Amino acid sequence: MLELLQGPLLISLLAAMVRIATPLLFSAMGELVTQRAGIWNIAVEGTMLIGAIVAYMVASTTGSPWLALAIAILACAASSLIMSFVTIVLKAEQFVAGLALNLLASGVTLFWFQAYIGGREAPTFIGFDQVPIPYLSDIPILGPVLFSQRLLTYVSFLVPILVWFFLYRTKYGLEVRCVGENPKALDVKGLHVGLRQCLAIMFGSMMSGFGGAFLMLGYSDKFVPDLIAGRGWLVVVAIIAGNWMPFRIVGAIFIFAFLEALGIHAQVVGIPVPHQLFLVLPYVASLVLLAGLRSRTHQPVALGIPYNRE
Amino acid sequence: MISFQRRSGSSLGWNVVCYSAAISGALLASAVLLRLSGGDPARAFTALIVGAFGSQGALLGSLAKATPLLLVGLGTVFAFRAKIWNIGQEGQVFAGAMAAYWVSFWIAPLPGWLAVCTLALAGMAGGGVLGLLAGALKTRFGTSEIISTVMLNYVVMYLLAYLLDGGPWMATGVTVSYHQSPPIDPSLEWPILLAVGAGKLHVGFLFALAASAFAAVLLDKTSLGYEIRAFGSNPTALTFRGTNVRRLLLTVMLMSGALAGLAGAGELFGVSHRLRAETLLGIGSSGIVVAMVGGLRPSGVMIAALFFGALESGTIYMRLKSGTPAGLVSAMEGLVLLFFLSAAVATRLQIVRREVHA
C-alpha cells in the first residue's frame, strides 16, 4: 500500500481522482439546484445514462464530440419534462416518479444500444482529448494533477462556484431556495412555484446529462450498458452527506473519486487483494459517510413535498 | 368550463377507463420506440404474444418467469404500503441465492422435501438479513433506506463477482471463465411440477402462491397489517397508539427482503442450477415495477406478475422471430410504470363541468 504514496504513482493517483470526480461535479451541482427547489429527484442515475447513450450515438455517427455533448444535454432537458409533468402537474410521489424514470432510462438505453448496434461490433468514436494548460501544467505535482486534464475538467472546477453564486447571490437563486423552504411565501407574492420547480428540474437534468455525456466522451470510446454503474446514486449520497451545501458536496465527491482512483491503482500495482474489494469501496464509504454525517440542517424543508395551493 | 376535482370515493368504471388508457398508452409508446429504431411493431408484438401464450409450454414458461416477480413484488408491497422505500430488491435476490447456495454444501443427506424447505428458508434468511441491515441503518443512524438499499445492492453484487471470479465459488476445470459456480448437486434441484417442451414450472411457484395468500391475509386481517398501513399514512399516530415503530420498520424490512431472497433461491435451485449474476440480474427491479403496477395489493401484484412474466418469457421468441432487441422489455416495463403512475393519480380525480356566469 505504501508504494502508492510515492512520487509518480501518487501524481497518477491524484490525477485519476480529479479525472473521476469532475463529471460527477456537473451532475451533483445540477441535482443540488433541483433539490434546493424542493424536488427530490432520484433519477440522476437514469438521466446520466440517457446523456451517455445519446452522446455515444451522436459521437459515433457524426464524429463530433461537441455536437454529441450538445444533443445529449438537449435530450436530458426533454426527458426532464416527464419528471416535471408527473411531479408538478400530477403531484405524484417524487421518489416513485424518479424510480420509474430510472427504470425507464435503463430499459430505453439498453434497447437503443441493442437496436443501434444491431448485431454488429459496437462502433467506437474519438472523444475529448487532454488539453494541458501552457505553463500551469509545468508546475510540479499540481501541473499534472490539475492542469493536464480535459477542457471540460477545467470548466467543472468553475461549476460549483457558479452554482454557489447563483444560489446565494442572485435573486433567482433566492427564489429557488425559497421554493424549497417555503413555497407558499413565493406563491403569496404572485410568483409561480411550479414554473420555478420545472426549470430547476430541467437544469438539474441537463447537468446530469452533461455529467453522463462527459463520462462517455471523455474517458471511453464505446458505450457499455453499465457505464454509469451507480455514480448517479453516489451523487445523491454526496448531496445528503454534504448537507445541501455546494462546497461540502464537492468534498464528498472527491472522497468517492479518491477511493475509486485508489482501487484502479491498487490493481495496477498488483496488491494481492481481490480487485472487487477496491471497486466496492465508494459504496461502502457512502454508507459510512451517511451514518457518520447526520447533520441535515440545510435540507430544504419542503424537499419531496408536492406543493398544493389551498 | 371543464375542470378536474379530487374525487371523494372511487368509481370502478372510471378506474377501468384510466388503467385501460394507461396500458394502451404504454403499448403505443413502446410501438413508437420500436418504429423509431426501425423495427416492425406489429411483427414484434405478435411474436411476443405467441412466445408468451402460444402453446402450453409457452404458458408454463410465462408462469415460471412470473414466479420470482410475484415474490419480489409481494415483498415490495409490504415495504411500500408502509412508505418504507426499500429498493434493494436486486441485492436481496442475490443475497437469497447466495445464502441458499452456501447452505446447499451442508444439507446433501437431507431427504427431498426437507432439503427444499431448508434451501427456501436459507434464501429467505439471506435476503431478510440484507433488508434488516438497511432497516438497522435507518433506525440506528437515520440513513435513508432509499440510499442504503441501493448501496447495499452494489456491495452484494461485487461480493458475488468476487466469489465467482477468483473466489472460492468459481467453477473450476473450465478454460474460459464464465463467472459462474459449478452446477449444484442434482439431488438438490427443486422438483418440477409441470413440464411441457421447454416450459418448466418448479415448486417455487407454489411458494409464490402461498406467499400471495399470506400477504393478502396479513395486510387486511391482522394487526401487523393494520400497523403497516398506518405507518405509511401516519407514523406519529402509531407511536401514540403504543406501537414500537422501530421494531415495525425492522419487521417490514425483514419480510420484504426475505421474499426477495426466496425468489433468488428459487431461480437458483429451480431454474438455472448454477449461481450466476446474469440469471438473477433485473428480477429485483422488475419486481418493484410489478408491485407498483399491481397497485400495492397482493391480488393486483399477481396479475401484474403474470403480465410481466409473460413479457419476459415472450422476449426470447420475439428476438428469434423478429430480431427485436431483448432490451425492449425493460423499456416497456419503465413505460408501463410511468403510465400507471399517471393513471393512479387520474383515478383520484373527476371531471366536473361548471357553469360559468358572465
Report yes or no for ipTM above 0.90.
no
- Percent of chain B whose pLDDT exceeds 90: 58
> Of A104, A256, A267, which to mutate for an interface test with B (greatest number of B Cβ within 10 Å)?
A104
Q: Is the pLDDT of residue A2 over 90?
A: no
> Of A45, A93, A111, which to mutate for an interface test with B (greatest number of B Cβ within 10 Å)?
A111
> What crossing angle do the helices spanning A151-169 and A246-269 adopt, rounded to 10°?
160
Q: Is the pLDDT of residue A18 over 60?
A: yes
Q: Is the pLDDT of residue B173 over 80?
A: no
As given in the structure block, the three cell numbers for residue A200 are 430547476
- Percent of chain A whose pLDDT exceeds 90: 52
Q: Is the pLDDT of residue A135 over 70?
A: yes
* C-alpha to C-alpha distance for B71 and B204, rounded to whole angstroms: 9
pLDDT of residue B233: 85
CA distance B164 to chain A (A): 11
Q: Is the pLDDT of residue A6 over 90?
A: no
Q: Which residues of A touch B342 (CB under 8 A)?
A: 85-86, 90, 92
Q: Is the pLDDT of residue B172 over 80?
A: no
Q: How confident is the model at residue B288 (pLDDT cuts 50, 70, 90)?
A: very high
Q: Per mean pLDDT, which of A105-119, A257-271, B127-141 is the most reliable?
A: B127-141
Q: Which of B144, B289, B338 sits opposite A82 (nearest CB)?
A: B338
- In tens, the pLDDT along B71-104 reads 999 999 999 999 999 999 999 999 999 999 999 9
Mean pLDDT in residue range A56-79: 95
- In tens, the pLDDT along B234-286 reads 888 888 888 899 999 999 999 999 999 999 999 999 999 999 998 999 999 99
In chain B, % helix, strand, coil (3-state, to 5) comes to: 70, 5, 20
Q: Which of B150, B285, B292 sits opposite A233 (nearest CB)?
A: B150
**B133 or A3, higher pLDDT:** B133
In chain A, % helix, strand, coil (3-state, to 5) comes to: 75, 0, 25
Mean pLDDT in residue range B180-197: 88
- CB pairs < 8 Å spanning A and B: 133
* C-alpha to C-alpha distance for B251 and B82, rounded to whole angstroms: 11
pLDDT of residue A7: 74
Question: Is B330 within 8 Å of A103 when comparing Cβ atoms?
Answer: yes
Q: Are A5 and A138 in contact (CB under 8 A)?
A: no
Q: Is the pLDDT of residue A310 over 70?
A: no
- In tens, the pLDDT along B302-339 reads 999 999 999 999 988 888 888 888 788 888 888 999 99
Mean pLDDT in residue range A135-140: 82
CA distance A111 to chain B (A): 4
Beta bridge partners of A126: none
B152-211 residues touching A, CB cutoff 8 A: 152, 154-155, 158-159, 161-162, 165-167
Q: In which residue ranges of chain B is CATH 1.10.3470 found? A: 55-314
Mean pLDDT across chain B: 89
Q: Which residues of A touch B142 (CB under 8 A)?
A: 294
pLDDT of residue A4: 55
Nearest to A4 by CA among A277, A254, A266: A266
* C-alpha to C-alpha distance for A231 and B235, rounded to whole angstroms: 32
* Helix ranges, B267-297 (H): 277-280, 283-293
| Residue whose grid cell is 441491515 | B133
**Poorest-confidence range of A29-38, A170-179, A269-278, B234-243?**
A269-278
Mean pLDDT in residue range A82-98: 90
Q: Is the pLDDT of residue A282 over 80?
A: yes
Q: Could you tell me which CATH number the domain at B55-314 has?
A: 1.10.3470
Mean pLDDT across chain A: 89
